[in-house]
Amino acid sequence: MATEHPGPGETELSALDAHWRAANYLSAGQIYLLENPLLRESLTSRQIKPRLLGHWGTTPGLNLVYTHLNRVIRARGLDAICVWGPGHGGPAVVANSWLEGSYSENYPDVGRDAAGMARLFHQFSFPGGIPSHVSPDVPGSIHEGGELGYSLAHAYGAALDNPGLLVACVIGDGEAETGPLAGSWHSNKFLDPVHDGAVLPILHLNGYKIANPTVLARLPEAELDDLLRGYGYEPLQVTGDQPPLVHRAMAVAMDRALDRIAGIQRAAREEGAAERPRWPVIVLRTPKGWTGPAEVDGLAVEGTWRSHQVPLGQVRENPEHLRQLERWLRSYRPEELFDGDGRPVAEVLACVPEGEARLGANPHANGGLLLRDLPAPPLEDFAVHVGKPGVGLHEPTRVLGALLARMMAETAERRDFRVFGPDETASNRLDALYEVTGKAWQEALAEGDENLARDGRVMEVLSEHLCQGWLEGYLLTGRHGLFASYEAFVHIVDSMASQHVKWLKTARKLPWRRPLASLNYLLTSHVWRQDHNGFSHQDPGFVDHVLNKSPEVVRVYLPPDSNTLLSVAEHVLHSRDYVNVVVAGKQPCFDWLSLEDARAHCARGAGAWEWAGSEHTGREPDVVLAAAGDVPTQEVLAAANLLRHHLPDLGVRVVNVVDMTALMPRDLHPHGMPDGEYDALFTRDRPVIFAYHGYPWLIHRLAYRRAGHPHLHVRGYQESGTTTTPFDMVVRNDLDRYRLVMDVIDRVPGLGVRAVGVRQAMADTRTRHHAWIREHGTDLPEVAEWRWTV
């Protein structure tokens, strides 16, 4: 592995440099030029964009990496993609894609000629054109160039179960300061050299972020080496600002890294080596804004943070800036790089691989091309038997676990399905999975370890960021997965979820991007059952966050029991291009619906449970009791039971909502119920007491346009809780059965004197509850032993 590489010869070096210069030229051109793309004439200020928007600083480094990846892909016949962490460098990745031809294949109006180059330049950061970041529009990208922190996790996610794939990953030294990136280095403890591909991190230290030096670039080199070794990598250094020397050093480092990777894979796959390998990392130190203006208006720019965005800011107004820009652009010698028609010359393209080997055309970076349907085992094999509603008790997520285990078993050969969770898979009752696969783990094993396996497809690490980032990388490369999290802690990835929704929203509009498997969240250990924890673990607001996002992408389900969870899970796991949020309990929960009823209920999204209300009396409802979520459903049914007993003449309709977006107007969400349907279900004029799993305002937000909205009264989580009993939680938040009955009595007019007594009895029971739990530490026996009775 330690063979000395002589590096490329002079001809090859010259060709690499030509490619790099061409990419740099095309990048700067995108930022500045409206016309005159080939500089056939002297630049005039009219040819300059009126608003200069873009990020030059990181761009030459990205161009260097792209050029050298081209070389090794071609030389070694690699199957490779690259994650571009410094996504600000949109011009770089677009330029390279145009050079290799993949851009024009996806956007035929931007051809690989002078006219196409003019369009390429014009469209960048221009209204009606393309954004300045590496976005879904960019061929070969699986990584949004927005918020920093997730490139390396995406890269590892892409490499999982892709043994033939190399995933290069450029990490900027700005991004490297983020927590999620700092934690992502340890992903190598979870990558199996036999069944997974390789990740080649390229830590690009250009020294500066927007306005400051970076922490890692200013470390003494030995300290940074310690850090990377401590993370489990073998660092390879490339440092310089002289292009020929850097090309040579980069080529040598790339060869060393790839030899090392090949050696690791050979040892693991052919020789059965079982120890965790020390994968290579390339540390690339080149100046920020390299080859751009050294100095502008007397201030150093190249090699400083001043080159972060647009090095020359007044090109239209300031003739000196215009002259400097022209000198800069001509320094790449475009006349040597592009022929008379504006096409890249042969030398420029000498390093570029062909067909799907090109970074912009590799199908792994357009994962929908490779996506296969997940197996669909019959739900009948997993459903719980429900003779009479509300008698049997099951842990819904445990029931789901058996289905997931079957899917895991049926993908054992294909290896395109994984379950991700922060150390909580068993806590979340999904441990049936361990009967068919292990938890991925490459570190040492110790006595007593359970269910750890090098080739395991359950991913557990105490980092929601890693779970989310790995899963995103896995999905974007055409596979399937589920992220199971404690409900409270999923806010950790609010921002990542938001970016993935944005990605999907944009990607869905691109005909060449093929649909991906949805990103599926299972949120459990939810707000109502934090028995071991308490207030700090209570937060049902992820649903609110997600529902602010594009309705064409987001879906939210609150299945009230085991069979509805199965039905929802089957649906979401086979869906495409969505972000699905499923909130379900792990604690024993009454079985309300048979599988058949559950399927019908989930298909409708919301519906009346006739058996629970007074429909059998033929009476029109005086009140609607609605619920969304497992605990609210139980309280609503208990309240319906109390009403039937105490106020038998009251017309009660019980409604259950599984699909939260069914409440939205149809014109705001495709799942929204038409008004007629909504009115028929909830009535236009009767009081609706709605018990909701999360923050109550969400229901108002979704339903405010409905005719019956003035009569809607919502109970939900009011940010009140501690370590206490399950029933005390609902009492503290006024979501309990007794409170709901009181709400009904308070809102249905003309109930008469009997209702006054019932109301008092309910209030008395709540008082009794408070006394009881303080004395006994457990719930009132009548609550603990409650069953649905008709």
Nearer to a copy of itself, 338 or 434 (CB): 434
Shortest CB 539 distance to a copy of itself, Å: 6
Rule CB under 8 A: choose which of 44, 239, 548, 767 binds a copy of itself: 548
CA dihedral 491, 496, 501, 503 (to 10 degrees): 180
Shortest CB 141 distance to a copy of itself, Å: 12
Q: Does 774 bind a copy of itself (CB under 8 A)?
A: yes
* Interface with a copy of itself in residues 169-198 (CB under 8 A): 174-175, 177-186, 189
Shortest CB 608 distance to a copy of itself, Å: 25
Strand ranges for 220-369 from DSSP E: 233-239, 279-285, 295-296, 299-300
Shortest CB 462 distance to a copy of itself, Å: 4
Burial of 741 per CB tally in 10 Å (0-12, 13-18, 19+):
buried
Q: What is the 3-state secondary structure (H, E, C) of 555-609?
A: EEECCCCHHHHHHHHHHHHCCECCEEEEECCCCCEECCCCHHHHHHHHHHCEEEC
Task: Name the region of 734 (left: φ>0; alpha: ψ -120 to 50; beta: rest).
Answer: left
Of the candidates 403, 555, 478, 474, the one whose C-alpha atom is nearest the C-alpha of residue 160 is: 474
String of contacts with a copy of itself for each residue 380-419, x by CB under 8 A? ----------------------------------------
* Interface with a copy of itself in residues 412-471 (CB under 8 A): 423-427, 439, 441, 443-444, 446, 448-449, 452, 460-463, 465-466
Nearer to a copy of itself, 180 or 687 (CB): 180
Shortest CB 612 distance to a copy of itself, Å: 28
Nearer to a copy of itself, 146 or 377 (CB): 146
Is 381 in contact with 566 (CB distance < 8 Å)? no
Shortest CB 145 distance to a copy of itself, Å: 7
Rule CB under 8 A: choose which of 47, 563, 656, 725 binds a copy of itself: 725
Nearer to a copy of itself, 251 or 301 (CB): 301
Report the chain's C-alpha Rg in angstroms.
Answer: 30
- Please give the Cα distance from 312 to 203 (Å, whole number): 27
Binding residues for a copy of itself, how many (CB under 8 A)? 124
Shortest CB 215 distance to a copy of itself, Å: 5
Is 104 in contact with 110 (CB distance < 8 Å)? yes
CB-based contacts of 125, cutoff 8 Å, min separation 6? 30, 31, 49, 51, 53, 54, 131, 132
Element (H, E) at 175: none
Shortest CB 666 distance to a copy of itself, Å: 16
Shortest CB 118 distance to a copy of itself, Å: 14
Shortest CB 638 distance to a copy of itself, Å: 20
Backbone angles phi, psi at 611, to 5 degrees: -60, -20
Q: Does 128 bind a copy of itself (CB under 8 A)?
A: yes
- Please give the Cα distance from 505 to 578 (Å, whole number): 9
Nearer to a copy of itself, 318 or 495 (CB): 495
How many helices, marked H, and strands, marked E, lie in the chain? 25, 22
String of contacts with a copy of itself for each residue 291-310, x by CB under 8 A? ---------x--xx----x-
Burial of 594 per CB tally in 10 Å (0-12, 13-18, 19+):
middle
Nearer to a copy of itself, 12 or 544 (CB): 544
* Interface with a copy of itself in residues 557-586 (CB under 8 A): none
Q: Which stretch binds a copy of itself (CB under 8 A): 63-71, 110-118, 347-355, 695-703?
A: 695-703
Q: Are strands 417-421 and 458-460 parallel, antiparallel or unpaired?
A: parallel
In this structure, what DSSP letter does residue 448 have? T
Nearer to a copy of itself, 156 or 695 (CB): 695
DSSP per-residue codes, 482-498: EEEEETGGGGGGHHHHH
Nearer to a copy of itself, 68 or 308 (CB): 308
* Sequence letter at residue 522: L
**C-alpha 407: how far from chain center:** 22
Nearer to a copy of itself, 74 or 398 (CB): 398
* Interface with a copy of itself in residues 597-636 (CB under 8 A): none
* Interface with a copy of itself in residues 207-266 (CB under 8 A): 207, 209-215, 218-220, 223-232
* Interface with a copy of itself in residues 626-685 (CB under 8 A): none
Burial of 649 per CB tally in 10 Å (0-12, 13-18, 19+):
exposed
Rule CB under 8 A: choose which of 9, 127, 387, 676 binds a copy of itself: 127
Shortest CB 593 distance to a copy of itself, Å: 30
Rule CB under 8 A: choose which of 38, 81, 148, 400 binds a copy of itself: 148
Rule CB under 8 A: choose which of 494, 596, 764, 782 binds a copy of itself: 494
Of the candidates 556, 552, 551, 738, the one whose C-alpha atom is nearest the C-alpha of residue 657 is: 556
Q: Token pair for residue 254?
A: 């790339």
String of contacts with a copy of itself for each residue 496-525, x by CB under 8 A? --xx--x--xx-------------------
Shortest CB 126 distance to a copy of itself, Å: 5
Shortest CB 230 distance to a copy of itself, Å: 3
Shortest CB 87 distance to a copy of itself, Å: 8
Q: Does 719 bind a copy of itself (CB under 8 A)?
A: yes
Q: Are strands 233-239 and 417-421 parallel, antiparallel or unpaired?
A: unpaired
- Please give the Cα distance from 241 to 295 (Å, whole number): 16
- Please give the Cα distance from 187 to 159 (Å, whole number): 11
Nearer to a copy of itself, 69 or 92 (CB): 92
Nearer to a copy of itself, 95 or 228 (CB): 228
Question: C-alpha distances in angstroms, 59 versus 92, 202, 292?
Answer: 5, 14, 10
Rule CB under 8 A: choose which of 50, 108, 298, 387 binds a copy of itself: 50
- Tokens 């001043």 sit at which residue? 306
Shortest CB 83 distance to a copy of itself, Å: 15
Q: Which stretch binds a copy of itself (CB under 8 A): 102-110, 601-609, 701-709, 747-755?
A: 701-709
Strand ranges for 215-335 from DSSP E: 233-239, 279-285, 295-296, 299-300
In this structure, what DSSP letter does residue 674 have? P
Q: Does 131 bind a copy of itself (CB under 8 A)?
A: yes
